[in-house]
Amino acid sequence: MTKATELDRLKDVLDAYGAKPDNWPQDEREQLQAIASAHGAEVAAWLEEARQMDAVLNLVPDAQVPDGAVERMLAKVAVPPRAPVVDFQAARARRSMPRRWIDLRQAVPVGIAMAASLMVGVLAGLSDLTATYIPNTGTISLASVGQETIGDTLIGFETFTLAEGDLK
Amino acid sequence: MEQPLKSAAAVTPAAASVGQVSHLTLLQQVRAGDQQAFGVLVSELFPTVYRAALRVLRHEQEAEDVAQDVFMKIWGDPPELRAEANLKAWSARVATNGAIDRLRKKKPDISDDLPDQVDPAVAADEAMQADEAADAVQQAIDGLPERQRLALVLTYYEGLPNKEAADLLEVSVDALESLLARARRALKAALSEQWQGLLEDFAQGGQNGEGSWKTI
């Protein structure tokens, strides 16, 4: 590249991209900086003109983000709480509930679970088995402790509570 | 005859700086459905993304819509960025591309025509927050023919590589450089009466400038 061609290219780049090498085409940056350094006196006026334009462009302020814009964005992905469903199977596994008493293999609605628990208690002749759903807590308390003999069979039972963590 | 803007397709993650590691960590958490991590990302990146869209569209509501699209994309389909990638730059670029797409839908044949009406809310906001000099510069930029304005916005304010800016405007790099040179000449002509005052403002601190002349 001749000197004239080099200088012409530097002038074009300054006119288009300004004086900051960071804004120059990456593949020409190093070479153009060398040209500018080598011909300081000749290119001084071009550089000054480009710097002035950069300075004026830099006077433009950053726009303010509208009030509430971030909150509106986050509201778009907020996941609403899902309706509670009792997972009796998981609860039973965690609390070692005697399988002979209640064997609910699948998650069932709260009302059905309560009815089933009470029915077991009545059929077994136990007087103190209770099942209580506590409103607004997502908790079912099934309460009875001890053991009972029915015929020749000794049946053990225990208290457990289905708490909020058992809901999914 | 210049061609209309093309659709913004591929987005190339920019080279990163060291401080972006935390963004990538947050992105991993977002990928696992962590809303809290997403909230942190939105809080940190929203201004950059919003401004990138606003510079192109000059309309607050549309810029916010574009910014929301960017973050919904991050939430719904988090990008696979390399460890050295810069999520901030990537997000700004997606916003710029989205804004260009939106502009193209409104105005398929953008050329060197007269600019649209600027969003009054933006103009009022700018008038309130900027001093007289900054307002004059902003108005001069807004008064540029649309394609010249976009060339300036994409390369100078958004820092896109010339090839990428040219692709977005669907012009050659030579044509982009011609648009940029014409834009700068037009701005200087429009601001000729205030020129010395503007330089003094810059020397005193300006808005975004460092208030000093940089040397090569």
Instruction: Give a three-class secondary structure readout of B105-145.
Output: HHCCCCCCCCCCCCCHHHHHHHHHHCCHHHHHHHHHHHCCC
- CB pairs < 8 Å spanning A and B: 140
- Report the pLDDT value the prediction gives residue B203, as an integer from 0 to 100: 84
Helix axis angle for A40-57 and B173-190, nearest 10°, is 70
Q: Can you tell me the mean pLDDT for B169-186?
A: 96
pLDDT at B80: 85
Handedness of CA A37, A42, A46, A52 (dihedral sign): positive
Mean pLDDT for chain B overall = 80
- Binned at pLDDT 50, 70 and 90, residue A109 comes out as low
- Count H helices and E strands in chain A, helices first: 6, 5
State how far the Cα of B51 lies from the Cα of B53, in Å rounded to an integer. Answer: 5
Which pLDDT score, from 0 to 100, does residue B201 have?
84
Q: Looking at the complex, report in whole angstroms how far the Cα of residue A80 sits from the nearest Cα belonging to chain B.
A: 12
Nearest residue on chain B to A57, alpha-carbon basis: B137
Write b or e for each residue in B6-32: b if 16 or more Cβ atoms lie within 10 A of its Cβ, otherwise e: eebeeeebbebeeebeebbebbebbbe
Distance from the A61 Cα atom to the nearest Cα atom in chain B, whole angstroms:
5
> A144 or B202: which carries more pLDDT confidence?
B202
Tell me, rounded to whole angstroms, the distance of Cα A66 from its chain centroid. Answer: 24
- Tell whether the model's pLDDT for residue A52 goes beyond 70: yes
CB-count exposure of residue B84 (10 Å: 0-12, 13-18, 19+): middle
Q: Report the residue of chain A nearest B51, measured CA to CA.
A: A63
Range of lowest pLDDT (A66-80, A134-148, B14-28): A134-148
Question: Is the separation of the CB atoms in A161 and A144 below 8 Å?
Answer: no
Q: Could you say which DSSP state residue A105 is in?
A: -
Q: What is the pLDDT of residue B52?
A: 94
Distance, CA of B26 to CA of B36 (rounded, Å): 9
Do the Cβ atoms of A129 and A142 come closer than 8 Å?
yes
Minimal Cβ distance to A69: which of B50, B141, B208: B50
Query: At CA B171, angle to CA B165 and CA B172, rounded to 5?
Result: 90
- Cβ-Cβ contacts under 8 Å, A37 against chain B: 216
pLDDT value, residue A13: 97
Q: How far is CA A39 from the centre of its chain?
A: 56
Question: Does residue A53 contact residue A41 with C-beta atoms inside 8 Å?
Answer: no
Do B199 and A12 make contact, defined as CB atoms within 8 angstroms?
Answer: no
The 10s digit of each residue's pLDDT in A1-44 is: 677 788 999 999 999 999 999 999 999 999 999 999 998 888 99
For CA atoms B7, B9, B14, B19, the dihedral sign is: positive
Measured between CB atoms, which of B67, B191, B208 is closest to A58? B208
The pLDDT assigned to B215 comes to 32
- CA separation for the pair B143, B140 (Å, rounded): 5
What does the pLDDT read at residue A96? 54
pLDDT digit string, tens, across residues B63-101: 999 999 999 999 999 988 876 678 888 999 999 999 999
